[in-house]
A = this chain, B = another copy of it.
Amino acid sequence: MAGSTYGDIFRITTWGESHGKGLGVVVDGCPAGIELDEEAVQKYMDRRRPGGIKYSTPRKESDRIEIMSGVFEGRTTGTPISMLVINENHRSGDYSEIASYYRPGHADYTFDKKYGFRDYRGGGRSSGRETIGRVAGGAVALQFLNELGIEVTAYTKQIGPVAVNVDKFSKNDILSNDLYMPDEEAAKKAAEYLDEMKRNRDSAGGMVECIVTGMPVGLGEPVFDKLDAGLAKAIMSIGAVKGIEIGAGFRVSSMRGSENNDEYVMSDGRVSKLTNNSGGVTGGMSDGADIIVRAAFKPTPSIAAEQKTVNKNGENIDINIKGRHDPVIVPRAVVVVEAMTGITVADMLLKNMAANMDNVRRVYEK
């Protein structure tokens, strides 16, 4: 069944394989009248680009995004915004060996069983390049949200055993190093850990945290399309994510109610909270505090070390995966988490417009 569309009102549909002709996205339902900065979209794309940072694939691809429709005289028109990247680097012939067996931790086996066969070149549709459409769509969502004063910011919280240990930091702090860790000391230790992993022909996992500021209250549609449920789906759908939590997250399991409840208090004439264990979502709706979500990423499954697996003939074999692979997915995934969060919030924000008659009258009683 069709599974490449996400969102109801603000909706993205992505397509493309790692080594096909290209990859892209159709963003449908974006409100008309947004001044879309095309260069900002490209800069956003560059943050997921291979070759951009030390610990990612050395393949150099410019990944130039082209906006094909939906923007006229610099503004969104309300019609679908189609964006695509042409693949420059799709040599064939490298993948004959991979085609014959199932790489541990990859989708080779499940793809074959579900569809009967697979485009094995570079991982096909399950490659990290699949996120190109997500990030391009996210770039549009973020420009939309920014117009309303909503900011989405993700960063690398942890790589292997090394976690960021600072509380306050700026967007610049995040972008100050290749690992997108806003804590120079942690970044240095993480780099050493990654060097060790490379020496051992191994790879590392990690964690990304994403924060949304400027949230209106009430976004999220109970009881199934709650804001946190939407975020959970959006972020879990990113390849390699194995866990998602919001606010105090898994820590709530061992907390007491008196400790976890966020008490309300008036502040500057507005309702606010003394703590934010809810991570900005109470009862499935935004409560006005910052959204705080975290995603756990598994280690890159492609490792050079020897592994057991089976081939298509049903024989047990030992393999060594060749080629140069990222020892860690996380830094390049930061922008993907940001994108999926932004798309979810944009969609929820538009959905919430229909929640009550006051909103309806604001639009129709002119």
Whether B77 contacts A119 by the Cβ 8 Å rule is yes
Q: Number of residues in A with C-beta < 8 Å to the partner?
A: 168
Q: Does A175 contact B (CB under 8 A)?
A: no
Contacts of A67 in B (CB 8 A): 21
Whether B22 contacts A3 by the Cβ 8 Å rule is no
Whether B31 contacts A357 by the Cβ 8 Å rule is yes
Q: Pick the residue among B33, B121, B237, B286 that contacts A115 (CB under 8 A).
A: B33
Q: A1-B221, A114-B352, A252-B205 are in contact. Are A264 and B79 (CB under 8 A)?
A: no
Report A209-264 residues with CB < 8 Å from chain B CB: 216-218, 220-226, 228-237, 239, 241-264
CA distance A217 to B114 in the complex (A): 7
Q: Does A52 contact B (CB under 8 A)?
A: no
Q: A31-B356, A111-B285 are in contact. Are A297 and B16 (CB under 8 A)?
A: no
In the complex, given contacts A125-B223, A147-B357, A248-B298, what are 10 additional A-B residue pairs having Cβ atoms less than 8 angstroms apart? A16-B69, A31-B357, A109-B287, A110-B217, A130-B223, A236-B244, A242-B248, A258-B305, A266-B314, A363-B363
Q: A31-B356, A354-B1 are in contact. Are A105 and B260 (CB under 8 A)?
A: yes
CA distance A217 to B116 in the complex (A): 12
Whether A250 contacts B254 by the Cβ 8 Å rule is no
CA distance A357 to B203 in the complex (A): 38
Q: Does A296 contact B (CB under 8 A)?
A: yes
Whether B354 contacts A115 by the Cβ 8 Å rule is no
